[in-house]
Amino acid sequence: MAASNSESADQVGIRVDNAENQDDHTDALGSSGGSAGVTTVSSHNPYGSGAIGQLANGYSSPSMSYKKNVAKMVTDRHAAEYNMRHKNRGMALIFNHEHFEVPTLKSRAGTNVDCENLTRVLKQLDFEVTVYKDCRYKDILRTIEYAASQNHSDSDCILVAILSHGEMGYIYAKDTQYKLENIWSFFTANHCPTLAGKPKLFFIQACQGDRLDGGVTMQRSHTETDGDSSMSYKIPVHADFLIAYSTVPGFYSWRNTTRGSWFMQSLCAELAANGKRLDILTLLTFVCQRVAVDFESCTPDTPEMHQQKQIPCITTMLTRILHFTDKQMVPAGRV
């Protein structure tokens, strides 16, 4: 089937098992030409602009070298798993961006499907979900700063999801671009002590560049072969973060205008099926598998965009196994 006249041919794609649908777009700047007139000025960054680079170069101050930070111990020193037995699972903040004030950015058709699906599965995992639609950057910062200032003592963790356009090292709010470090830096152990030692999860659906992944065809071979946990301890301020990007640095991220993005489709499917059965890193491995194996663009009229692939990129600073265990329901009549 030819691409719809209402779509840009360099942005449509499909899922492998439904090759007649050509409603996929990339979460870049609206074209395959990269920044499309948007200029980014930044100083030299020896560590790169991805999650690791932003951690290495990001939010810090001279006082961090001598200020003594103390937080309540929520998990035994050598416990294998995070303590997920608090009263609440925790906040889940979803920033859903569909329309933009930046002239070069197209509306993200299909993002509301992602948002609805993610909201549903996170509620099934006992998160307190709040959705923020088409926020300007100052409103995002205000929301994040407020969330970080709350008392999370009775919560297992916190989760932030951002659905938007992006480019290398940057994500777009409604009105401007920003670095992810401007968001997660509020939740480091020294700035948000009631989340110290607890998982801080970030899921980012956005392009990280304008490069394409043509993939490699795999062919079957003709022959196959077969201390004391009660003592206090110190943790790094950047410990216990997990940042899951929909694609690797420098590459496109694909989004279907009717089904939602490849990454969010896969993440929601895995969370719904295995969210309380598998630990988060095992689950995200299968998310990567779904995106890598089950999806492929189909733009025969635009050969350079045809039969392209995608693979998510997971950056983890988790220090324990994370399971979303069942919450114990309080019997009726008891407080």
Active-site residue list? 165, 207
Q: Apex CA 178: angle with CA 155 and CA 247, to 5°? A: 75
Residues 6 or more apart in contact with residue 213 via CB below 8 angstroms? 251, 252, 308, 309, 310, 311
Q: Apex CA 24: angle with CA 23 and CA 28, to 5°? A: 140
CB 241 within 8 A of CB 317: yes
Gyration radius from the chain CA atoms: 21
CA distance 245 to 162: 10
| Phi and psi angles of residue 267, each rounded to the nearest 5 degrees, phi first | -60, -45
- CA max distance for the chain: 67
CA distance 268 to 205: 12
CA distance 240 to 219: 39
